[in-house]
Amino acid sequence: MTVKLNWEGDKVERVTLDHVSDAMVEFGLRCETAAKKRLQPNGHGVKTGTLRRSIHTATPGYNWAADNVAPTAATPERGGKEAKPTEKNGKLRLELGSGMEYAMAVHQGHGSFEGYHYLTEAVAEIKPKLPGILERHKLK
């Protein structure tokens, strides 16, 4: 008896990466929202809202420096858009941040200011929700 195997491992891997990619898009958008909530005009370093509006997800290789603009109340909202992760050697990558030149100082702190850690705290807040996000995007 001869059995012919129709190997579809590559197809299964691609479909799986597509579903995980969709989950990462959702995770990134949730992290973005959580980071923005940490920078509200209630004494948390918000004067114009430019930094808050600049926070977004991006595909690795994105030119963050191009996002740097003068802080005004009329700066564009960069977030809320789906950024697809990139895949390399079976690993997916997605970035979250701000291109504002002062973003790291507000995040990490400077001098006696300890910083708001708005990005890392947002990821820590959303991370426990990752299993549910992956569940919604699983293969059916």
pLDDT band at 45 (very low <50, low <70, confident <90, very high): low
**What is residue 53's predicted lDDT score, i.e. its pLDDT?**
95
Tell me: the pLDDT tens digits for 18-34?
Answer: 999 999 999 999 999 99
Task: Tell me the pTM.
Answer: 0.89
Phi, psi of 96 (to 5 degrees): -135, 130
Identify which has the larger pLDDT, 35 or 13: 35
pLDDT in tens, 60-98: 999 999 999 999 989 999 999 999 999 988 899 999 999
